[in-house]
Amino acid sequence: MSKEIHKLNPNNWVKLHADYLYNFAIGRINEHDLAKDLVQDTFFAGLKAMDNFQGLASERTWLVAILKRKIIDHYRKINSNKGKAEVKMNFYADGEREGEWIEERVPSNWNNEIEKQIENEELNVALEKCINNLPEKYAMVFRMKTIQQLETEDICKELEITSSNLWVIIHRARTQLRKCMEDNWFKN
């Protein structure tokens, strides 16, 4: 069997791949304009890099690889300064009480009809809102792990982070999400 050599045809890129790439991006970065820009950037970068295309991968796989680079760049950007300032602490970071709950973040009792509440169709609106309230970096990793259900290893590779890094992020995302759901949904 001879290997197929793939060719690039930028004239069809938008028609063939824009939706796919957009869906890939929006699953990670839940922001329409940003996802759209990343797709557009991917096409531009693809044009520039056309000479490097060897035809071993399909056009789409090749474009996705470029998009992944764009997503990492974005992740690094939000990871640098901005993201850090927004973190709400749940535990004392140092001192005698290091690692203990900060009083106002301690889980409080939720009302009784939890099971019924889980079934409520409007719950997803509250969840979505709370996830979007997370600092961007946390929301992104949380989405990939929890909603897209990607493997830990794959996320680490994709974002070039370590697994302990990932779990710290998931931990912070979930403690913050818990608090948000408590305030907006489960509290008596």
State the nearest-atom distance from the C-beta of 157 to other proteins, in Å: 16
When the beta carbons of 4 and 115 are compared against other proteins, the nearer one is: 115
Rounded to a whole number of angstroms, the minimum distance from the CB of residue 99 to other proteins is 3
- Residue 149 gets the label, from left (phi > 0), alpha (psi -120 to 50) or beta, of left
CA atoms within 13 A on the CB side of 58: 6
- What is the per-residue DSSP string for 119-158? H-TTHHHHHHHHHHHS-HHHHHHHIIIIIS---HHHHHHH
The residue among 61 and 132 lying less far from other proteins, judged by its C-beta, is 132
User: CA 168 → CA 40, 69, 138, 161, distances in Å?
Assistant: 32, 23, 10, 11
CB of 147 to other proteins, least distance (A): 5
Say if CB 25 and CB 38 are below 8 A apart.
yes
Question: Smallest gap, in angstroms, from Cβ of residue 118 to other proteins?
Answer: 5
Q: Which residues bind other proteins (CB under 8 A)?
A: 10-11, 13-15, 18-19, 22-23, 26-27, 30, 32, 36, 39-40, 43-44, 47, 90-91, 98-101, 106-110, 114, 118-119, 123-124, 127-128, 131, 145-148, 152, 167-168, 170-171, 174-175, 177-178, 181-182, 186
Residue 96 identity (one-letter amino acid): E
Closest CB to other proteins among residues 78, 170: 170
CB of 1 to other proteins, least distance (A): 33
